């Protein structure tokens, strides 16, 4: 009897173990992505890349190279789809005294694939109402729509918004909307609607060439061509710098190897090419950190010069700050 009971208990135990293993093997698929943020220390500043979403851009928008050549370059990166997935990246800089956001993403203007900025900001430990200043590289919809919600109410309740005067003059003049080509009117209206509540509250400000929107904190430089007032922003702390270059590049596979290739969104494509070459060359020489609004997330890396073209060297996932003594294997 005792022997039989022991055997029975052992059998039940084995059955429990097998059932448990089976249950573990049947764990449900999570089917979600991790939150879209990534941190980088630049001197004493904390930089957080924020993912707002994505869309697909047709290679046909690229100009200055035939489509067969463009498709060959895309194929080298295993891209054979009709469109190229293109990220909307924004960047949050905590100086220790101010919280500064560079661009705001596409928000509610793109649809289901964008509008993730606020959620990812909160996942990163911040709230929109904590942002003190917003620096716009330019006023295209995928950089300003995140300023407001679907009811055109400001998302950043305490932030002042800054843009180059040339950019504001181009997009926000009511006469500009009236004179714009029919196909472009929507872009002007979105720029005006997105900035309107900040203008009404006296929290939209402009700066001229040679001026800084936040003196002593950031350097601004006009790099026109994509739009009349496209700007880059440079932050420096403890001898380290990071440059936010906005839309100087849209396509990783093509425009580093061939910076002479422009995109249909450029207002002045020849000037855009000139600006891209200037910034790429300076970035390769200085070896500073560089960010881009539409390169694969987190859109942070370095630019290197190789022969007569450039290469993008993306940031590698790692600790926020490297350990003081990292083992060196030789």
CATH number at residue 218: 3.60.15.10
The mean-pLDDT minimum among 119-133, 165-179, 235-249 falls in 165-179
* pLDDT mean across residues, the chain: 93
Q: End-to-end CA distance of the chain: give it in Å, rounded.
A: 66
At CA 120, angle to CA 233 and CA 52, rounded to 5? 60
pLDDT reported for residue 168: 98
Strand order in the sheet with 218-222: 218-222, 231-237, 240-244, 289-291, 300-306, 309-314
- Tell me whether residue 2 is in a domain: no
- Other CB atoms within a 10 A radius of the CB of residue 277 amount to 14
- Taking residues 100-126, report their average pLDDT: 96
CA 41 to chain centre: 17
% the chain with pLDDT above 70 = 92
- Tell me whether residue 152 is in a domain: yes
Q: What is the DSSP string of 210-276?
A: T--SSTTTEEEEE--SSSTT-EEEEEEETTEEEEE-TTS---HHHHTT-TT-EETT-SSHHHHHHHH
Q: What is the pTM assigned to this prediction? A: 0.91
Q: Mutual orientation of helices 185-200 and 165-172 as an angle, nearest 10°?
A: 120
pLDDT tens per residue, range 265-310? 999 999 999 999 999 999 999 999 999 999 999 999 999 999 889 9
**Can the peptide bond before residue 298 be classed as cis, meaning omega within 30 degrees of 0?**
yes
Number of separate domains in the chain:
1
* Structure token pair of residue 168: 């504001």
Q: Which of 259, 140, 251 is nearest to 189 (CA)?
A: 140
State the residue range of the domain holding 157.
37-314
pLDDT category of residue 177 using cuts at 50, 70 and 90 = confident
- Tell me whether residue 24 is in a domain: no
pLDDT reported for residue 14: 46
- Taking residues 101-127, report their average pLDDT: 96
- Tell me whether residue 21 is in a domain: no
- Tell me whether residue 14 is in a domain: no
% the chain with pLDDT above 90 = 87
- Tell me whether residue 52 is in a domain: yes
pLDDT category of residue 183 using cuts at 50, 70 and 90 = confident
- Tell me whether residue 323 is in a domain: no
- Tell me whether residue 248 is in a domain: yes
């Amino acid at each position: 009897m005792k022997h039989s009971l022991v055997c029975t208990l052992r059998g039940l135990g084995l059955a429990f173990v097998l059932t448990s293993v089976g249950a573990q093997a049947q764990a449900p698929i999570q089917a979600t992505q991790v939150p879209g943020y990534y941190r980088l220390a630049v001197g004493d500043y904390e930089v957080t890349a924020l993912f707002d979403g994505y869309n697909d851009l047709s290679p046909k928008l690229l100009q200055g190279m035939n489509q067969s050549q463009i498709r060959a370059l895309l194929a080298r990166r295993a891209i054979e789809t009709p469109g190229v997935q293109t990220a909307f990246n924004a960047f949050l800089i905590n100086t220790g005294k101010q919280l500064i956001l560079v661009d705001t993403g596409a928000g509610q203007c793109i649809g289901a694939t964008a509008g993730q900025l606020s959620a990812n900001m909160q996942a990163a430990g911040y709230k929109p109402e904590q942002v003190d200043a917003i620096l716009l590289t330019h006023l295209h919809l995928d950089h300003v729509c995140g300023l407001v919600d679907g009811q055109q109410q400001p998302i950043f309740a305490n932030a002042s918004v800054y843009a180059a005067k040339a950019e504001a003059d181009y997009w926000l003049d009511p006469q500009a909307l009236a004179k714009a080509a029919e196909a472009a009117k929507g872009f002007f209206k979105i720029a005006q609607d997105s900035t309107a509540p900040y203008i009404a509250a006296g929290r939209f400000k402009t700066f001229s060439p040679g001026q800084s929107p936040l003196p002593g904190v950031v350097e601004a430089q006009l790099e026109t061509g994509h739009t009349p007032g496209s700007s880059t922003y440079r932050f420096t702390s403890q001898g380290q710098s990071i440059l936010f270059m906005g839309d100087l590049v849209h396509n990783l596979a093509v425009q580093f190897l061939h910076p002479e290739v422009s995109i249909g969104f450029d207002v002045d494509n020849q000037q855009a090419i000139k600006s891209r070459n200037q910034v790429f060359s300076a970035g390769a020489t200085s070896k500073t950190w560089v960010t881009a609004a539409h390169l694969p997330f987190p859109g942070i890396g370095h630019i290197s010069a190789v022969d007569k073209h450039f290469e993008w060297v993306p940031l590698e996932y790692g600790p926020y700050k490297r350990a003081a003594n990292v083992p060196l294997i030789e």
